[in-house]
Amino acid sequence: MRYLQSGRIRVATAVVLALTLATTAAACGRGGTGSSASGAAKIAIVTRDFTNPYWAALRDGAIAEGKKQGVTVNVQAGDNETDSSGENAKISTLAGQNYTCFGVVPVNATNVITPLVPVAQKNIPILNLDTQIDPGASKAAGVSYASFIGSDNLQAGTLAGQSLLSKVGSGNVAILQGIAGEQNGINREKGFAAATGGKLTVVAKQPADYDQTKAQTVTEAILQAHPDIKGIFAANDTMGLGAAQAVKNAGKSSQITIISVDGIKAALQAVQAGTLSATITQYPYAEGQLAVQACIKAVAKKSIPTRVVAPIKLIDKDNVGRALRSFPQPFEPFTNPLAN
């Protein structure tokens, strides 16, 4: 849980100590053998795929926090961003094992509900991570969630729109969407539209499945159809990097501003190099840490917020150096509702 820079390490250490003492006390209060509540937690997390650095960072944060807290953490994933069947198979396998808490990042709003039914029937806490699972369909299936942990994607889109508007002023822009129908991408686009409506003209928008190669191909086609665009908003960094390559190949890097979302290391390096103008970092490493902290509390029968908002931050040329030095941790402190 080391979210703070060196000047605030003592605060972070105190928070970790307080959390450890709290969970230990909870175990003793149940008349157990004296082992800590965190030691009783066995956590399974299933996300989309590890080829995307975002999900790999979430995995790394969860595993690191598990080691720090002394709990078992198993993080698995599908084969790609749209591999709902592979993801579901992982959940089904883990559901038959003796895990005491689950965290799940869905591919879409409903794909993980069915394999989570056996987990819910055992009254095992389930965390909905990063991407909202349909509450109505979940309720109908008898699946509920101890908490949603993720960043504010509307705000991420708003920050991206404000930044792009400040850089280009007016004119035509394009949007690279994520997976068709995926809620995070929808919310990012809504936030972008709210910030730029009536000021920038969106002449093209097309999904590229959060894939870098697809994004490059889509951007090449957009540049052919709309050679006068002044900016591109990509709903994640891998697509932003693909767009940047297409723009570079067209010899228009100095003419087109590109802003994306996620804050993966390659995007931060691209911002530093000037091929991306900015990224909205969502700190997936911290999100993984938060998931483990929430599971420990849920297993210990401690109350946790129904929604935990992970931090976001606009990273541009002015602060990218600090962001890289702190990576993968946030370079500024944020409010952690799980800390007490």
The confidence score (pLDDT) of residue 151 equals: 92
**Inter-CA distances, 166 with 159, 161, 241, 255, 271, Å:** 11, 8, 21, 15, 16
Does 15 score more than 80 pLDDT? no
The pLDDT score that the predictor gives to residue 27 is 36
How high is the mean pLDDT of the chain? 89
Can you tell me the mean pLDDT for 183-198? Answer: 95
* Angle separating helix axes 84-95 and 113-121, nearest 10 degrees: 10
Chain segment 101-151, per-residue pLDDT in tens: 999 999 999 999 999 999 999 999 999 999 999 999 999 999 999 999 999
Q: Is pLDDT of 2 > 50?
A: no
Name the band, by pLDDT with cuts 50, 70 and 90, for residue 333. Answer: confident
Q: What are the structure tokens assigned to 324, written together? A: 């890289």
Q: How far is it, in rounded angstroms, from Cα 35 to Cα 25?
A: 10
Domains and CATH numbers, the chain: 6-151+284-309 (3.40.50.2300), 153-281 (3.40.50.2300)
Q: Report DSSP state, residue 133.
A: P
pTM of the predicted protein model: 0.82
Q: Which two tokens stand for residue 298?
A: 């849920």
User: How far, in Å, CA of 282 to CA of 265, rounded?
Assistant: 12
Q: Which two tokens stand for residue 185?
A: 């991408």
For the stretch 88-106, pLDDT in tens is 999 999 999 999 999 999 9
pLDDT at 173 over 70: yes
Rounded CA separation 165/141 (Å): 43
What would the two tokens of residue 50 be?
Answer: 């590890």
Determine the Cα–Cα distance for residues 231 and 75; give it in Å rounded to an integer. Answer: 37
Instruction: Count other Cβ atoms within 10 Å, centred on residue 7.
Output: 8
The residues pairing with 104 across neighbouring beta strands, listed in sequence order, are 46, 128
